[in-house]
């Protein structure tokens, strides 16, 4: 510590200290845990009802089960959300929409496959018009039941929260790949690539 001639007091080298502080915070993992904590309690599922488990999803958002206490708030636009709950069967026609919505969502994003149909076809396993969820998007949590009770959905959300904290790779290791341009005209694609 020293004093300057013009009355300014210096407390060490500010640049050095700030670098030290940043490396300390990184090393201790406070920044990462802060981001994880934020993501953990802001899992906003997009309002995309793929099938009949949507009724139990609605009940789970209702007052008795009230998943909003876990930060689980259904939201309209895919751009503001970070979670898809695939509610049951996905038909070939719906699969395309699921994929488009998933591509529209900003990273980081998670997927819960709800119900036996989303896991492996369930009761509709031999239908000619259904696709398992894992063939459309990468799934983080599989949730059994036909349909799963709202408590089970709450459990899946808690499990996802735990996995966000435990298993999440450091920010540098998360690979964000550009979504393939399946939708939109040529002009749009060109405009984006510029």
Partner 1 sequence: MAYEEGFSIEKNSVEGAKMSASQDRATTANLTYDELAGLKAERELVLLIGPAHPGSGHMKIKVWMDGDIIQRVDPDIGFVHRTTEKLSENRLYIKAIPIVERVMLPDTINANLAYVIALERLLGIEPTPRAQYLRTLTSEINRITSHLYGIGLYGIFLGSSTVYMWAFADREPLIDLLEEISGARITYSYIIPGGVRWDLPAGFKERAETVLQYMEARLKDYEKIWVKNPVVMDRTEGVGIVSKSDAIRLGITGPNLRASGVDYDTRRAKPYAAYPNLDFNVPTFSEGDCYARLLQRVEEIEQSIRIIRQVLKDIPDGRIISDDIYSKMNPLQKRMYEMKHRVMFPAYMASMRPAAGRSTASVEAGRGEIFFYLVSNGDKVPFRFRWVTPSFLNLPFFTHVMVGQHLADLPAIYGSSDYFPPEADR
Interaction site with partner 1 (CB under 8 A): 46-52, 54-56, 58-59, 61-64, 76, 78, 89, 91, 93-94, 97, 100-101, 123-124, 126-130, 146-147, 149, 182-185
Residue 16 tokens, joined: 């050095």
Instruction: Give me the least distance between CB of 140 and partner 1, in Å please.
Output: 19
DSSP 3-state of 20: helix
In the complex with partner 1, which residue's Cβ is closer, 46 or 143? 46
- How long, in residues, is the chain? 194
Full DSSP string of 161-173: HHHHHHHPPPGGG
Instruction: Give me the least distance between CB of 79 and partner 1, in Å please.
Output: 11
In the complex with partner 1, which residue's Cβ is closer, 93 or 166? 93
Instruction: Give me the least distance between CB of 147 and partner 1, in Å please.
Output: 6
Instruction: Give me the least distance between CB of 117 and partner 1, in Å please.
Output: 8
In the complex with partner 1, which residue's Cβ is closer, 16 or 64? 64
Instruction: Give me the least distance between CB of 118 and partner 1, in Å please.
Output: 13
In the complex with partner 1, which residue's Cβ is closer, 112 or 164? 112
In the complex with partner 1, which residue's Cβ is closer, 108 or 121? 121
Gap between the Cα atoms of 118 and 116, Å rounded: 5
Full DSSP string of 107-161: SS-EEEEESHHHHH-GGGTT-TTEE-GGGTS--SEEE-SSSPPHHHHHHHHHHHH
DSSP 3-state of 179: coil
Chain centroid, CA 164 distance in Å: 9
DSSP 3-state of 84: strand
């Amino acid at each position: 510590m020293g004093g300057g001639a013009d009355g300014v007091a210096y407390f060490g080298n500010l640049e050095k200290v700030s670098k030290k502080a940043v490396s300390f915070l990184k090393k201790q993992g406070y920044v990462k845990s802060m981001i994880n904590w934020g993501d953990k309690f802001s899992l906003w599922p997009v309002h995309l009802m793929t099938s009949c488990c949507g009724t139990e999803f609605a009940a789970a958002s209702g007052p008795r089960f009230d998943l909003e206490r876990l930060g689980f708030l259904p939201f309209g636009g895919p751009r503001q959300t970070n979670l898809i709950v695939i509610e049951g069967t996905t038909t070939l026609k719906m699969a395309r929409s699921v994929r488009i919505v998933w591509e529209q969502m900003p990273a980081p994003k998670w997927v819960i496959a709800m119900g036996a149909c989303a896991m492996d076809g369930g009761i509709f396993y031999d239908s000619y018009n259904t696709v398992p969820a894992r063939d459309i998007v990468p799934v983080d949590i599989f949730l059994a039941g036909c349909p799963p009770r709202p408590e089970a959905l709450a459990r899946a959300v808690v499990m996802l929260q735990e996995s966000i904290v435990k298993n999440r790779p450091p920010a540098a290791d998360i690979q964000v790949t550009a979504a393939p341009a399946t939708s939109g005209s040529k002009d749009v694609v060109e405009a984006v690539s510029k």
